[in-house]
Structure 1
């Protein structure tokens, strides 16, 4: 059914809005003309505006901009990512749904996506404002054959995918703030949350949550974060097609993930550092029991934050809160 409908969309799209006869569609798809009509009605439910005229056939007058399982899959062009999609109009968090699906044996590459999250969260359980219909709130279920210690590298890979997508689609210049934030002009526009279920030497599954602010205006954000958060619309003045952006991200993610599984982390590291936020500058590092300053050198071969202390010691940081100094502030750091 899905492959037939995908082929139907392809035939109508390539007609350049010219009518395609029901007989021709029937012959190409090897189904009856009444089955063609039923497919057209399903397309209309997903937001396609179809014009059908007797003796002339069918044509697409308007393509949908809504998000659904069907609209994401039609024209997606991936080999394995997004072949199974779970879409909700509203949910608490896509991460929660993805964990449930993974535990119910959802296949590798399953996508969970929502128009709105009522309890969206980011790293360290911070609230994420998921405005209905104005952003991408999506989780990807992966079952990689790698050691659990390598899972954090998937966060860094995901960050490069989002940075590439934003750069390619909008001509903006994103930066990646370690480990999981995408910034534009020093304001957060996207974040990544990676969670894992694993045994000591084997990953059962990984859920990668992606949150991207796409079409929000400033007033969509709470006043206390309006100077810290932004969206692609705020930065460009352009309203973006969310479905198209999702498809671009998924296709790029599949390509990057396949390359990572084939070639390892070096290519990801190189790309990440090309987007790295304020590499070479002084940072303040906070853990539960300690706070100190160091120079941010980039990321290590295993994905850890790479720093140099004031005693010229090279240190790897695997977790903690990172702050960048304002000009002239670093002299007061501990």
Structure 2
């Protein structure tokens, strides 16, 4: 059976505008009837496909939705995205990814949605997830690494997000320890990694990623007490969500392969080069006390290395890090 994703790709790339049913049939090695059935599926999904006698089919317009079949069709990855599951609306991509992981889903499975009804951020905070404007996805990994090294995966995904924003959107994205990405000091993306493990074995890790792409100012909650932005607000241009997602997954795939073969050092260097406070003086609010020092990098487990004024190096595992304004 022909995939409507493959047919959609042929419709998008047809230089002549129209592409005949016979040509689609020949390229995909399926019957004309199978082609017609998948054209019908595309129309039901909201794609406007014109059919004209003796000329064939032409794509007139597309809904701004992310479809698994189309994501997979031109995805150049070795592991990430070997299976993609898409939803128009879901409670949370992380929740669905955990369900799939518990059922034995393949490593590299990607769950993506156009909207989340119960999107979550760090510390259980709500992640605003309006329909069809941003990227909400979760990736299932089953790394053969020690449990204590699992936090490295947060920095892996942060690097992939920031580098994709810089490449596709011509931005200067920075990473904020431990799991935010900033543009011009405002939050544009957040990461939520969740793990299932025993004392010495990781069963799976869910990499949760939320990126504000085409979100307008009036779509952000008014009660937020920190600056936020989107690609649209930062550049005054919309970004192609499908292109962005494919590029991000391909970069994540390469970063993950590098981590597994070369260890954390290459990822750590890239993260430090993107960090907004590296070699800067900061205050770290630990709740019971506030430490002041200079951020000098990450340790192998992902703890922030803070050099105090007396020269002592403190490992920061949790806390609110704020640059000192002079």
TM over 0.5: yes
Matches within 5 A, 1:276-287: 276-287=275-286
SS in 2 for 1:215: coil
CA deviation vs aligned residue, 1:17-61 (integer Å, no higher than 9, x gap):
433333333233222211121122223334443332222223334
Deviation of the 1:274 alpha carbon: 1.2
For the 8 Å contact 2:65–2:88, the answer to whether it is kept is no
Partner of 1:247: 246
Q: Which residue in 1 is equivalent to 2:229? A: 230
Q: What is the number of equivalent residue pairs in this alignment?
A: 326
Structure 1: where are the runs of 5+ without partners? 328-334
Match in the other structure for 1:150:
149
Alignment partner, residue 271 of structure 1 = 270
Runs of 5+ consecutive residues of structure 2 not aligned to the other structure:
none
CA RMSD of aligned residues (A): 2.1
Whether contact under 8 Å (1:46, 1:66) holds in the other structure is no
Shift of residue 227, structure 1, vs aligned partner = 5.4
Displacement of 1:121 after TM fit? 2.0
Which residue number corresponds to residue 187 of structure 2? Answer: 188
| Greater shift in the superposed pair: 195-204 or 286-295 | 286-295
1:84 aligns with 83
- In structure 2, the CA distance between the partners of 1:8 and 1:216, relative to structure 1 (3 Å rule), is closer
Q: How far 1:325 moved relative to its partner?
A: 2.4
CA contact under 8 A between 1:136 and 1:246: conserved in structure 2?
A: yes
Deviations 1:216-251 (A, max 9, x none): 222212223275111111111112222222122112
TM-score (norm 2): 0.92
Q: Which residues in structure 2 correspond to 1:111-190 (within 5 Å)?
A: 111-190=110-189
Residue pair 2:149, 2:300 contacting (<8 A) in 1 also: no
The aligned counterpart of 1:73 is 72
Partners of 1:321 and 1:43 in 2: CA distance: 47
CA shift digits 1:267-315 (9 cap, x unpaired): 1111111111122222222335433211111222332211101110122
State TM-score, norm by structure 1. Answer: 0.90
CA contact (8 A) 2:65 2:114 kept: no
What is residue 21 of structure 2 aligned with on the other side? 22
- TM-superposed deviation, 1:174: 0.6
Change (3 A) 1:145 1:53: same
- 1 CA distance for matches of 2:30 and 2:221? 53
Q: 1:223 to 1:22 in 2, by over 3 A?
A: closer
Q: Contact conserved, 1:218 with 1:226, CA < 8 A, in 2? A: no
